[in-house]
Homo-oligomer: A and B are copies of this chain.
Amino acid sequence: MSWSLAVHGGAGTPPEGTLDRAVEAQRREGLKRALDAGGAVLAARGPALDAVCAAVRLLEDDPLFNAGRGAVYATDRSQRMDASVMTGDRRAGAVCDLRRVRSPVLAARAVLERSPHVFLSGTGAEAFAAEQGLELVDSSWFADAVRLAQLEAALVDGMVVLDHSGRTAGDGEAGGTVGAVARDLSGRLAAATSTGGMTAKAPGRVGDSAVIGAGTWADDRSCAVSATGHGERFIESAVASRIAALVELSGLDVVAAAEQVVLRELVDRQAEGGVIAVGADGRLALPFNSGGMARAARHPDGRVEVVAFLPERARR
């Protein structure tokens, strides 16, 4: 048996001409660092849960991704974060609307491992994280001038006035939600997702990244999935658990299942985004229906790929 690991740094369709090659190169480095951190855990026979948390934690600290430091802003100019983790024995932890926890994914993990609950929100989640000894920081830790400018532009454009199915300010952004999926050398699966949500979201908005079954799912019988995209539509399609259901109940392999949901069902619902998924056999799937998805993967055969938003992939 071999190990496999994939990480993502968000899916989207960056508006024409907005991709900066230097930033993309840095983002690629961030993805590679995260893959290496998770891979080191797995190569040392560590558990999949440790690996996905090690990878996601680094991406949270990296201001070029929309999670932790560098998260996008809500309409009230606050940064509010969601995260979740799940292991293949179907134990889960999730947090939403965090403003002061440096690593939301570690807060979600603490919920999984040390709370009687599975899902904690807001100040209650922050109080639990503090009790558990996790690092709380001043909100200035997360601040980011580029993200704040994105908010101001969205407010000027009136993008906060959205219809239920409409386009959102976050749709086209490069550098989004982060996540990881892994299979370890014992065959256990895990998934983790962390995000700042969408630019100009309402305060208190919770996206799929905090919703077990939508943004994150893991089941050793089928697959582990971390999603990135238009969170509202992803919740309404229960994206991550649906991919697992297609594997378990319909007998699709993980690639076919992930592609059916991302390339067909989500497209039918005008929901832009993608997923990373790992099957029980370690096979990875990384489909997206947007212009690009920042991602890195170490396949079970040892092959490694690292792709930020490549200009030549945009606007297909």
Contact = CB atoms under 8 A, between A and B. Distances in A.
Contact of A204 (B125, B163, B217): B125
Dominant secondary structure of chain A at its interface with chain B: mixed
A150 interface: no
Chain B CB within 10 A, most for which of A116, A206, A213: A116
A205 B90 contact: no
Contacts of A166: 116
Given A211-B213, A238-B238, A249-B246, A97 B124 contact: yes
A46 interface: no
A120 B202 contact: yes
A45 interface: no
How many copies of the polypeptide does the oligomer hold?
A: 2
A222 to B, nearest CB: 11
Interface stretch (A49-57, A138-146, A179-187, A229-237): A229-237
A127 interface: yes
Interface string A105-136: 00000001111111111111101100000000
B245 A123 contact: no
A18 interface: no
Interface string A174-207: 0000000000000000000000000001111111
19 contacts: A86-B236, A91-B164, A96-B121, A96-B206, A97-B124, A117-B201, A117-B205, A118-B235, A118-B236, A119-B232, A121-B122, A122-B123, A123-B203, A125-B204, A127-B203, A128-B202, A212-B235, A241-B241, A241-B245
Interface of A: 86, 90-92, 94, 96-97, 112-125, 127-128, 162-164, 166, 168, 201-207, 211-214, 217, 231-232, 235-238, 241-242, 245-246, 249-250, 269
Closest 3 CB pairs of A and B: A124-B204, A116-B162, A124-B203
